[in-house]
Amino acid sequence: MDAAERVSAVEPRPAGVEPRPAPGQAAPVRTQDRTWHDVFLPPDVAHVRDMARTSVAKHLAPVAREIARTPESREAFPWDAFRGLAGDGCFAVPFPEPHGAGLEHPMLATCIVTEEIAYESSSMAGVYDGQCILNARCLSFARPEVRDRVLPALISGESAFSFATTEPDASSDLSPDTLRTVATRTGSGYLLNGRKCWITNSVVADWLCVLCRDGEEQAMTMLLVDMRSPGVTVGEPDLKMGHHGQITADILFEDVEVPAAHVLGEPGRGLGVALASLAAGRVGIGAAGVGVAQAALDLAVERLGTRVLFGKKLGEMQHWQYRLAEHATALEAARSLYQKAAVRLDRGDRSGEPEASMAKSFATKLANDVARDALQVYGGYGFAKRIAATGDEYRLEEIYRDAKILEIFEGANEVLQWVIARHLLGRDLTG
Ligand SMILES: Cc1cc2nc3c(=O)[nH]c(=O)nc-3n(C[C@H](O)[C@H](O)[C@H](O)COP(=O)(O)OP(=O)(O)OC[C@H]3O[C@@H](n4cnc5c(N)ncnc54)[C@H](O)[C@@H]3O)c2cc1C
């Protein structure tokens, strides 16, 4: 069965059948199925949510808490979940035929997969975003023979891919003056020198799309680098407060030879490639924010329906009814917003702005707001990983720690407010 058949062969989940987690690993009833009424999903993606939910329940949910709690190391890369999701067709969703599923709305479908993954594991959504959004968009600029060579391993999950723009002194601000990673032209291609940092999947990646300054030029070029090339060194994994499954590390390049055929797009036009990839990534992180917010909301709903205080259920307190209603309304808006931004990208808009920035900043702030309130609903149990006396495990502290990075990476939310304001006030005023 090829990738397209695998994606479309998955039958919709029968109504009312919910994947359930192991006891004590709290994944409650999906309130999304009570409150969200789809009125505009196109037919080619209508079944993707069911496909992704089934795949996540099978390959990710059983190991998601372990992924979240295992400190970062090369050995900790979640290969089983990664390849399980790939095997079910989740990695084929963004790509055109002949390699991928060939959907009419690949970005919308990919974002829906991202939301489903994030519901169980925010960090795995980060891994998926790197592999299947940032790199998918970047590799669409590759020559056909290069795509033929690398995409089958990306889509099957045999190989992990990385995407690198960030350096110690260049991150939110990407310009030729800030980039220190330089590609010097040779007769047959480029010699690459420099350092990238914070690179997702790099500790296990076979391939990397990297933004670098093009020699002495005030221009940037995007290159596809074989991570097994002499001169590539990957550092030790960073130790972070959350997103442990999204393992990051520095990459050092010392006279790394890159063939000319591995230029993505045109030489000197790499910033456009990077920005197109990051625009798509931004919408994907908006979808991840929705998945995380939904998970936190569902956990809060469960607790409000069961915890008894002052002789009545916590959910009878009007304070929490109001808070839930506000969050559910914002969640509906956030989901609609990322889907609209994704459809704009699918229709050929290069940036999807300002909806892309709105979707990312709104959904990721919401994820943090809902996580904070859900944790509050759980009281001390929200603050706990495991209660010694009972062995009960709680997930809210994980969601709370993981949610924070969503507001920072792939466009810090303040930068995205700037982008939105630019659409209102114009560049002359906002810069
Ligand atoms: C888990 C994780 C995974 C990552 N994966 C990758 C990856 O795969 N590839 C990659 O290239 N990078 C990756 N990054 C790097 C990430 O993209 C950067 O951390 C991010 O761009 C922010 O850059 P910085 O940390 O250097 O913060 P800075 O650029 O120093 O920004 C710091 C803060 O300044 C504020 N700020 C910035 N600009 C403005 C402004 N215009 N107005 C007001 N305030 C502003 C924001 O609050 C921002 O949070 C990852 C980072 C993490 C933590």
Verify whether ligand 1 is closer than 6 Å to residue 130 (CB atom).
yes
Does residue 344 line the site of ligand 1, with CB under 6 A? no
* Cα distance between residue 167 and residue 144, in whole Å: 29
**Interval between CA 364 and ligand 1 midpoint (Å):** 14
Return the pLDDT at 5: 64
Q: What tokens does 391 get?
A: 């062995």
Q: What's the confidence (pLDDT) of residue 2? A: 58
Residue 225: what pLDDT? 98
Residue 411, pLDDT score: 93
414 is catalytic: no
Query: What does the mean pLDDT of the chain come to?
Result: 93
What distance in angstroms lies between residue 340's CA and the mean position of ligand 1's atoms?
25
- Ligand 1 neighbour 282 (Cβ under 6 A): no
Residue 3, burial from CB neighbour count under 10 angstroms (0-12, 13-18, 19+)? buried
Alpha carbons 123 and 106: distance in angstroms, whole number: 22
- Tell me the C-alpha distance between 391 and 385, whole Å: 10
Pocket residue to mutate for ligand 1, from 127, 166, 220, 404, most atoms within 8 A of Cβ: 166
Bridge partners of 258? 190
Atom of ligand 1 nearest to the CA of 407: 49
What are phi and psi for residue 11, nearest 5 degrees? Answer: -75, 145
Q: How far apart are CA 170 and CA 144, in angstroms?
A: 31
pLDDT digits over 171-221, tens only? 888 888 889 999 999 999 999 999 999 999 999 999 999 999 998 778 999
pLDDT computed for residue 173 by the predictor:
86
Distance 414 CA to ligand 1 centre (A): 10
| Residue 230: φ, ψ to 5° | -55, 140
How far apart CA 102 and CA 92 sit, in angstroms, is 8
CATH code assigned to 3-159: 1.10.540.10
| Beta-sheet strands, E only, within 141-269 | 160-164, 182-185, 189-200, 205-214, 220-226, 232-234, 248-259, 263-264
Pocket lining: 248 vs ligand 1, CB cutoff 6 Å? yes
Q: What's the confidence (pLDDT) of residue 4?
A: 56
Q: Which of 174, 198, 427 has the most ligand 1 atoms within 8 A of CB, as the residue to mutate?
A: 198
What is the per-residue pLDDT for 1? 55
* Per-residue pLDDT tens digits for 283-301: 999 999 999 999 999 999 9
CATH of region 276-430 = 1.20.140.10
Distance of alpha carbon 184 from alpha carbon 296, whole angstroms: 48
Q: Under 8 Å CB-to-CB from 13, ≥6 apart: which residues?
A: 50, 53, 54
Q: What is the DSSP string of 50-67?
A: HHHHHHIIIIIHHHHHHH
Report the distance separating Cα 105 and Cα 347, nearest Å.
8
CA-proximal residue: ligand 1, atom 34 (nearest): 412
372 Cα to the center of ligand 1, angstroms: 22
- For residues 115 and 81, give the distance between their C-alpha atoms in angstroms, rounded to a whole number: 16
Q: Are 357 and 278 in contact (CB under 8 A)?
A: no
CB of 241 shorter than 6 A to ligand 1: no
- Annotated active-site residue in 332, 398, 410, 414: 410
Q: Best mutation site among 408, 417, 420, 430 for ligand 1, i.e. most ligand atoms within 8 A of its Cβ?
A: 408
- Cα torsion at 172, 178, 181, 185 (round to 10°)? 120
Ligand 1 neighbour 338 (Cβ under 6 A): no
The residue extents of the domains of the chain are: 3-159, 163-270, 276-430
In this prediction, residue 22 carries a pLDDT of: 36
Q: Is the CB of 364 under 6 A from ligand 1?
A: no
Q: Are 127 and 157 in contact (CB under 8 A)?
A: no
**For 290-403, where are the E strands, in sequence order?**
308-309, 312-313
What SS3 class is residue 292? helix
**Ligand 1: does its nearest atom lie under 6 Å from the Cβ of 160?**
no
d(CA 139, CA 179): 21
Q: Is the peptide bond before 354 cis (omega within 30 degrees of 0)?
A: yes
What is the CATH code for 163-270? 2.40.110.10
Measured CA to CA, the distance from residue 147 to residue 163 in angstroms comes to: 16
405 lines ligand 1 (CB under 6 A): yes
Q: Tens digit of pLDDT per residue, the chain (431 long)?
A: 555 565 554 444 444 444 444 334 445 889 998 888 888 899 889 899 999 999 999 999 999 999 999 999 999 999 999 999 999 999 999 999 999 999 999 999 999 999 999 999 999 999 999 999 999 999 999 999 999 999 999 999 999 999 999 999 998 888 888 899 999 999 999 999 999 999 999 999 999 999 999 987 789 999 999 999 999 999 999 999 999 999 999 999 999 999 999 999 999 999 999 999 999 999 999 999 999 999 999 999 999 999 999 999 999 999 999 999 999 999 999 999 999 999 999 999 988 999 999 999 999 999 999 999 999 999 999 999 999 999 999 999 999 999 999 999 999 999 999 999 999 999 999 98
- How high is the pLDDT of residue 3? 52
Greatest Cα pair distance in the chain: 80
Tally of CA atoms within 13 A in the half-sphere of 269 that contains its CB: 11
Q: How remote is the CA of residue 413 from the centroid of ligand 1, in Å?
A: 10
CA distances 260 to 223, 226, 266, 373, Å, are: 9, 13, 10, 52
Classify each residue of 157-178 as buried b or exposed e, where b means 16 or more C-beta atoms within 10 Å of its C-beta.
bebbbbbbbbbeebeeebebee
CB 155 within 8 A of CB 4: no
Q: Is 163 in the pocket of ligand 1 (CB under 6 A)?
A: yes
At residue 40, the pLDDT reads 87
Instruction: With CA atoms as reference, report the closest residue to 269 among 350, 342, 149.
Output: 350
CA of 251 to the centre of ligand 1 (A): 17
Q: Could you tell me the two tokens for 173? A: 């601000």
The pLDDT score that the predictor gives to residue 43 is 87
**Sequence-distant (≥ 6) Cβ neighbours of residue 289 within 8 angstroms:** 118, 334, 360, 362, 363, 364, 365, 366, 367, 403, 406
Asked whether the beta carbons of 107 and 254 are under 8 A apart, the reply is: no
Task: Determine the residue of 129, 172, 202 to mutate for testing ligand 1's pocket, defined as the one with the most ligand atoms within 8 A of the Cβ atom.
Answer: 172
Q: How far is the CA of 179 from the centre of ligand 1 (A)?
A: 14
CA 224 to CA 211: how far, in whole Å? 9
CA of 157 to the centre of ligand 1 (A): 27
Q: How confident is the model at residue 46, as a pLDDT? A: 84
Is the Cβ atom of 404 under 6 angstroms away from ligand 1? Answer: no
